[in-house]
């Protein structure tokens, strides 16, 4: 069983502070939906509105087509995995997992059986009698997931459940979560400020900034076709050139910047269209920047290498644009064709107009 | 180096002083419970006994007082702990603007003098009783009820403070998690919050009970015509006490110690378990070993054995041979009395000798001389000025009348002159002195077995 979740014009206010502004979201049943955003942007708040711990100041939350106004958290078909897990410290693992059955009056024998099944699912068989304090961080994580699944929610809400884990365990848990979701087939709403996590696991990603949903899309679109300057600067790494649009032809804008005239494609989203005279940013991914020879590419400039990092499969090269001393970053795969460029001056670098995107100026993610 | 040592020495000295200050009175009081002396004191030590515990059990007023105190204590726990819990929960729920006000109001009874609480409780319930036209024998005038209600007014505030301290460490996310998993608010309270608060409930109950048990200044007003332990003790102090009060104190201290040790043992168990769990969580161990049941815990068994052995020893040495010891003490005392009587007689004789100095007999002159110069045969007076005599004099005035046949020998017991044969021409030593030497070593252990029964049968 899975249900879709709809947020319709949801506003959430804490006094004068607005934690969510006119949020409209439609999360389809059975999908893995991620909300991505910097700390304090209102992700947890949004999730609490879905699970029923707070009532939106305006707008409505619908789960499975049913308006949730006036329905408490214990009567919503949702289960929340808390940012700090909130496992019950005075209960054993199996009691934790089957708490939702206990409060519904299910018999102990039956509960134990269910606990064993779930322990199997989270790869902790036979550990039901332990106490919470006897588990490692990753194991607790899995118990929290099992406890939520045991309630058989139609929507599972996960609030940065992996944030407390080290990198290795995190990567492992990511794949595990994804496979659990595919196994049980319920709707997952997943919160993170780690974009790798968001892009890896999600069917759809919503990027949020200060209570506003900036863009909802699948991972590749978010990365390749950002709608706003914030999304472009928040998701992945981007080199940014500020400038003014000189003219627009066939979806390619001519932008004059201190580094010279740059040709870049316009966004496909009509809301993000630019016209002549607009103040814009041109975004170029480090992997789109490359050393060039001849006139094979639209945008070219001279730059000096001031620092480089060798990562085995990749080179990360940090450059100064010769004309303005603006710093840009370039990444390229180490295929053996280029050796260290350290200290080289005035090398020709460039990028194609297809690889650069022009977006209206607006708020940016913190560096 | 030396400075450090001096510092150490000072610190140790200070700590020792501190402990003496803390426990000195307690220890002295504890000792008086085992002395046969009719007044609670350690010196002079008479005989080791547990008879005061019997006296304690037979003192109906005291026993009733203890029973009432226990009843009231339990009543206060039942009343004050839920009130404190409710207050704490409310304080945690309401908004930050109201909180300080409510806090002040609920804490106020602690700040109000207990006397005021007592009087106001009495008046308040009297008013209510009047309103219902209730008689003197109704609950509104029942000392136990009034005391429970009166004490609960401020003891519930203590309980509340304990609960607040515990609640501040409660993760509200746990409550939300329970709700989220479908629990009702009641279930959340019962299954999540209450288990979390269990240790605090225990501490609050213990504290409430102790606060109630030892309360005097509220109780003295609200208890009306009944009595509690504290009020009985207070009146006893006013009208004269005996060591059964010390016996009561010893019993209470003993029970407290037992409780403390049991608590400590169980706490250590807990710590050990927590440490094992940490080890498992860190991956240093694979599982936490099941702990053996508390009753088979070695520390517990050892403690029970020590307590049983200690109690047995005290009981045995406090009941066996006490009567014999008492007789010896009594005889000693009688000897002192006798000696004192003789001294008086002698003084009188001396007086008359002075009066009739013109026709003084050589004997009396000799006596006069003797009192100045230490002459042969007067050694018995040497101990007249020892402090023990004074005490005997004051306390046993009444017994002086008793004829003390055959105890004269004890007179000189302390004088080194005994070692020499006293001269028989002494005027006061009219009785044959045969066998006096035998008393010289009154404190020799063999006396207990040989002489005492002989004396006994003689009387
Ligand atoms: N109960 C509240 N009262 C007032 N302000 C609140 C409350 N809860 C949240 N906020 C504010 O709302 C904003 C969003 O908070 P929220 O917890 O949703 O952030 P978040 O996106 O989950 O951040 P993080 O990634 O750090 O968890 C924050 O600025 C926070 O200060
Ligand atoms: Mg959050």
pLDDT in tens, A165-194: 778 878 887 888 888 888 888 999 999 878
The pLDDT, as a whole number, for residue B163 is 95
Domain boundary, last residue among B242, B268, B302: B242
The pLDDT, as a whole number, for residue A196 is 83
| Residue B227 sits in the same domain as residue B343 | no
Average pLDDT (A107-112) is 93
| Residue B71 sits in the same domain as residue B208 | yes
- The b-or-e profile of A343-356 (16+ CB within 10 A means b, else e) is eeeebebbbbbebb
Q: Is residue B194 part of a domain?
A: yes
The pLDDT, as a whole number, for residue B433 is 44
Taking the C-alpha atoms of residue B146 and residue A149, their distance in angstroms, rounded to an integer, is 54
Pick the residue whose CA is nearest to atom 30 on ligand 1: A40
The pLDDT, as a whole number, for residue A293 is 81
Nearest chain A Cα distance for residue B195, angstroms:
7
| Residue B236 sits in the same domain as residue B327 | no
Cα of A51 vs centre of ligand 2, distance in Å, is 14
Pick out chain B residues at pLDDT < 50.
360-361, 364-413, 415-438, 440, 442, 444, 446-459
Task: Spell out the long-range contacts of B41-47 with Cβ–Cβ below 8 A and sequence spacing 24 or more.
Answer: B44/B388, B44/B391, B46/B325, B46/B326, B46/B329, B47/B322, B47/B325, B47/B326, B47/B329
Is A43 a pocket residue for ligand 1 (Cβ < 6 Å)?
yes
Measured at the CA of A7, the angle between CA A6 and CA A10, to 5 degrees, comes to 170
Tell how strand A78-81 and strand A155-159 pair up: parallel
A152 contact B CB<8A: no
Q: Is residue B75 part of a domain?
A: yes
User: Ligand 1 test: best mutation among A14, A57, A192, most atoms within 8 Å of CB?
Assistant: A14
Taking the C-alpha atoms of residue A366 and residue A281, their distance in angstroms, rounded to an integer, is 16
- Sorted by sequence, the CB contacts under 8 Å of residue A281 that are 6+ apart come out as A229, A232, A240, A241, A242, A243, A358, A359, A360, A361
The pLDDT, as a whole number, for residue B396 is 40
Domain boundary, last residue among B331, B353, B375: B353
The pLDDT, as a whole number, for residue B359 is 56
The pLDDT, as a whole number, for residue B175 is 92
| Residue B72 sits in the same domain as residue B204 | yes
Q: Is residue B434 part of a domain?
A: no
| Residue B71 sits in the same domain as residue B204 | yes
Cα of A164 vs centre of ligand 1, distance in Å, is 18
B176 contact A CB<8A: yes
Q: Is residue B267 part of a domain?
A: no
pLDDT tens-place string over residues A302-326: 899 989 898 888 889 999 998 888 9
| Residue B337 sits in the same domain as residue B193 | no
The pLDDT, as a whole number, for residue B1 is 67
Q: Is residue B2 part of a domain?
A: no
Tokens of A245: 């649009």
| Nearest ligand (C-alpha, residue A45) | 1
Question: DSSP class of residue B289?
Answer: P
**Nearest CB partner across the interface for B281, out of A80, A103, A135:** A135
Q: Is residue B398 part of a domain?
A: no
Nearest chain B Cα distance for residue A218, angstroms:
29
Chain B residues closer than 8 Å to A51 by CB: 180
Q: Is residue B282 part of a domain?
A: no
Task: Spell out the long-range contacts of B258-264 with Cβ–Cβ below 8 A and sequence spacing 24 or more.
Answer: B258/B307, B261/B303, B262/B300, B262/B303
Nearest chain A Cα distance for residue B196, angstroms:
7
Report the CATH number that the domain containing residue B169 is assigned in CATH. Answer: 1.10.3720.10
State which residues form the domain around B337.
321-353
The pLDDT, as a whole number, for residue B380 is 45
Average pLDDT (A102-125) is 90
Q: What is the DSSP string of A3-31?
A: --EEEEEEEEEETTEEEEEEEEEEE-TT-
Domain boundary, last residue among B295, B329, B353: B353
What is the rounded average pLDDT for all residues in chain A? 89
Average pLDDT (A259-288) is 90
ipTM: 0.82
Burial class (CB in 10 A: 0-12, 13-18, 19+), B303: middle
Residue A359: is its pLDDT beyond 90?
yes
Q: Is residue B238 part of a domain?
A: yes
| Residue B72 sits in the same domain as residue B221 | yes
Question: In chain A, whose CA is at the least distance from the CA of B174?
Answer: A86
Q: What domain count does chain B have?
A: 2
The predicted model scores a pTM of: 0.69
Share of chain A above pLDDT 70, in %: 99
Is A153 a pocket residue for ligand 1 (Cβ < 6 Å)?
no
């Amino acid at each position: 069983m899975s249900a879709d979740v709809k947020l319709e014009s949801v506003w959430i206010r804490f006094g004068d502070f607005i934690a969510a502004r006119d949020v409209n979201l439609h999360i389809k049943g059975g999908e893995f939906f991620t909300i991505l955003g910097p700390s304090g942007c209102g992700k947890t708040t949004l999730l609490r509105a879905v699970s029923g711990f707070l009532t939106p100041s305006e707008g409505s939350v619908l789960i499975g087509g049913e308006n949730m106004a006036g329905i408490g958290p214990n009567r919503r078909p949702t289960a929340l995995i808390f940012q700090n897990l909130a496992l019950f410290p005075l209960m054993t693992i199996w009691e934790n997992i089957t708490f939702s059955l206990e409060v519904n009056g299910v018999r102990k024998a039956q509960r134990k059986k269910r606990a064993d099944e779930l322990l199997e699912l989270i790869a902790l068989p036979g550990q039901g009698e332990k106490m919470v304090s006897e588990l490692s961080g990753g194991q607790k994580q899995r118990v929290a997931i099992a406890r939520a699944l045991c309630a058989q929610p139609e929507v599972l809400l996960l609030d940065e459940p992996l944030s407390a884990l080290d990198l290795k365990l995190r990567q492992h848990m990511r794949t595990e979560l994804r496979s659990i979701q595919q196994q049980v087939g319920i709707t997952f709403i997943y919160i993170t400020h780690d974009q790798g996590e968001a892009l890896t696991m999600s069917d759809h990603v919503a990027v949020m900034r200060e209570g506003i949903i900036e863009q909802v899309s699948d991972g590749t679109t978010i990365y390749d076709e950002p709608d706003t300057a914030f999304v472009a600067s928040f998701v992945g790494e981007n080199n940014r050139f500020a400038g003014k649009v000189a003219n627009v032809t066939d979806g390619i804008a001519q932008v004059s910047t201190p580094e010279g005239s740059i040709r870049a494609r316009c966004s496909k989203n009509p809301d993000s269209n630019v016209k002549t005279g607009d103040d814009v940013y041109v975004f170029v991914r480090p992997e789109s920047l490359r050393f060039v020879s001849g006139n094979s590419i639209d945008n070219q400039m001279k730059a000096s290498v001031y620092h480089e990092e060798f990562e085995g499969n990749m080179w990360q090269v940090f450059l100064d644009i010769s004309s303005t001393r603006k710093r840009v970053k370039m990444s390229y795969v180490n295929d053996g064709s280029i050796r260290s460029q350290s200290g080289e001056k005035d090398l020709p670098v460039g990028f194609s107009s297809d690889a650069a995107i022009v977006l209206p100026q607006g708020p940016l993610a913190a560096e | 180096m030396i400075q450090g040592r001096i510092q150490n020495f000072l610190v140790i000295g200070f700590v020792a002083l501190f402990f003496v200050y803390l426990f000195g009175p307690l220890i002295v009081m504890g000792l008086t419970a085992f002395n046969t002396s009719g007044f609670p004191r350690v010196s002079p030590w008479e005989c080791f006994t547990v008879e005061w515990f019997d006296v304690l059990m037979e003192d109906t007023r005291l026993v009733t007082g203890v029973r009432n105190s226990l009843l009231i204590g339990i009543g206060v726990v039942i009343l004050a702990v839920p009130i404190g819990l409710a207050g704490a929960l409310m304080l945690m729920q309401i908004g930050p603007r109201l909180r300080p006000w409510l806090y002040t109001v609920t804490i106020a009874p602690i700040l109000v003098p207990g006397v005021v609480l007592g009087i106001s409780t009495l008046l308040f319930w009297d008013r209510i009783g009047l309103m219902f036209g209730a008689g003197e024998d109704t609950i509104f005038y029942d000392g136990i009820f009034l005391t429970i209600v009166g004490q609960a007014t401020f003891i519930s505030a203590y309980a509340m403070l304990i609960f607040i301290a515990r609640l501040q460490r409660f993760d509200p996310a746990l409550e939300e998690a329970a709700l989220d998993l479908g629990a009702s608010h009641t279930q959340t309270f019962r299954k999540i919050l209450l288990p979390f608060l269990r240790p605090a409930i225990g501490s609050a109950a213990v504290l409430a009970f102790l606060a109630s048990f030892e309360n005097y200044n509220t109780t003295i007003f609200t208890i009306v015509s009944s009595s509690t332990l504290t009020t009985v003790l207070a009146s006893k102090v006013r009208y004269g006490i005996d060591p059964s009060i010390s016996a009561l104190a010893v019993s209470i201290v003993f029970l407290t110690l037992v409780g403390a040790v049991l608590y400590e043992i169980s706490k250590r168990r807990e710590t050990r378990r927590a440490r094992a769990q940490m080890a498992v969580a860190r991956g240093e161990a694979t599982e936490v070993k099941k702990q053996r049941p508390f009753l088979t815990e070695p520390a517990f068994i050892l403690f029970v054995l020590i307590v049983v052995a200690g109690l047995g020893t005290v009981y045995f040495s406090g009941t066996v041979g006490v009567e014999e010891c008492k007789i010896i003490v009594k005889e000693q005392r009688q000897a002192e009395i006798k000696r004192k009587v003789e001294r008086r007689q002698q003084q009188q004789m001396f007086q008359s000798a002075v009066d009739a100095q013109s026709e003084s007999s050589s004997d009396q002159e000799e006596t006069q001389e003797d009192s100045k110069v230490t002459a042969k045969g007067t050694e018995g007076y040497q101990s007249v000025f020892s402090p023990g005599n004074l005490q005997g004099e004051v306390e046993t005035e009444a017994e002086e009348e008793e004829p003390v046949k055959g105890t004269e020998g004890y007179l000189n017991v302390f004088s080194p002159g005994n070692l020499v044969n006293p001269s028989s021409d002494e005027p006061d030593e009219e009785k044959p002195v045969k066998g006096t030497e035998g008393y010289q070593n009154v404190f020799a252990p063999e006396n207990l077995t040989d002489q005492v029964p002989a004396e006994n049968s003689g009387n």
